[in-house]
């Protein structure tokens, strides 16, 4: 077995965050009687990704700033001259219910567990939301621990974040560790920063223009089995 310790990102790797996000955003806009369509979703996603990237890079220090600034910027672009906080709050509240699982994720986790792989979650998500979604989806039972940046106080891709994770994994070996995630800037760069092998989960087969080179690239989680076993 090439890898024994597997670090999985949560959102859009194990849990379908895109689906949860769309459901929660539509709910929040509808409840606040705000017009909602695909353009609203695209605008929000663009601003959301930008703010999280600023957080990952250290340009934004406080995660709570991300959670409100993404809505402030979205409302500004959409010319909505109302307070965005009620919508942001409803979105966060409803996101707890987004327990959708990525295709094949559970089957893959079951097989990895059967081979005695040690599975961990590494995520920058909001602590309460991640805990709720992992439990609600039933995916929590496959993981020994969940390393959530909000609790640790340092986000991926920081080396310090991974140093904390490594220090809290029993019998940790770098050479036997692999991180699997959908984000080049967070998961893959974080793995590179910390000196472990990386696997970019890229189901949409996006072009990689980042300059960040993963050890492996897959478009289906089942391919993890061939890499690990």
CA angle in degrees (0–180, nearest 5) for 121-124-129: 80
CA gap 134, 201 in Å, rounded: 19
Question: In the 3-class helix/strand/coil scheme, how is 141-157 assigned residue by residue?
Answer: HHCCEEEEHHHHCCCCC
Instruction: List, as own/partner pairs, every contact residues 195-198 make where C-beta atoms lie below 8 angstroms and the sequence separation is at least 24, other chains included.
Output: 196/7, 196/162, 197/3
9 is catalytic: yes
* CB-CB contact of 154 with 164 (8 Å): yes
Select which of 9, 16, 182, 187 is catalytic. Answer: 9
Residues labelled as active-site residues: 9
């Amino acid at each position: 077995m090439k890898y024994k310790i597997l670090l999985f990102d949560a959102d859009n790797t194990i849990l379908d965050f895109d689906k949860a996000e769309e459901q929660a955003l539509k709910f929040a806009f509808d409840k606040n009687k705000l017009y909602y369509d695909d353009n609203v979703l695209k605008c929000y996603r663009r601003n959301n990704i930008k703010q999280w990237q600023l957080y990952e890079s250290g340009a934004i220090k406080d995660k709570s700033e991300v959670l409100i600034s993404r809505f402030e910027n979205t409302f500004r672009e959409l010319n909505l001259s109302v307070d965005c906080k009620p919508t942001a709050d409803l979105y966060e509240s409803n996101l707890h219910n987004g327990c959708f699982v990525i295709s094949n994720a559970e089957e893959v986790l079951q097989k990895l567990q059967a081979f005695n792989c040690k599975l961990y979650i590494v995520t920058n998500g909001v602590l309460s939301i991640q805990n709720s979604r992992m439990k609600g989806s039933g995916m929590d039972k496959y993981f020994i621990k969940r390393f959530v940046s909000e609790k640790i106080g340092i986000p991926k891709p920081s080396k310090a974040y991974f140093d904390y994770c490594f220090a809290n994994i029993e019998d940790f070996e770098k050479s036997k560790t692999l991180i699997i995630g959908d984000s080049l800037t967070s998961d893959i760069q974080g793995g590179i920063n910390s000196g472990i092998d990386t696997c970019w989960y890229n189901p949409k087969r996006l072009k990689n223009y980042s300059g960040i080179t993963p050890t492996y690239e897959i478009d289906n989680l089942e391919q993890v089995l061939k890499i690990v076993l």
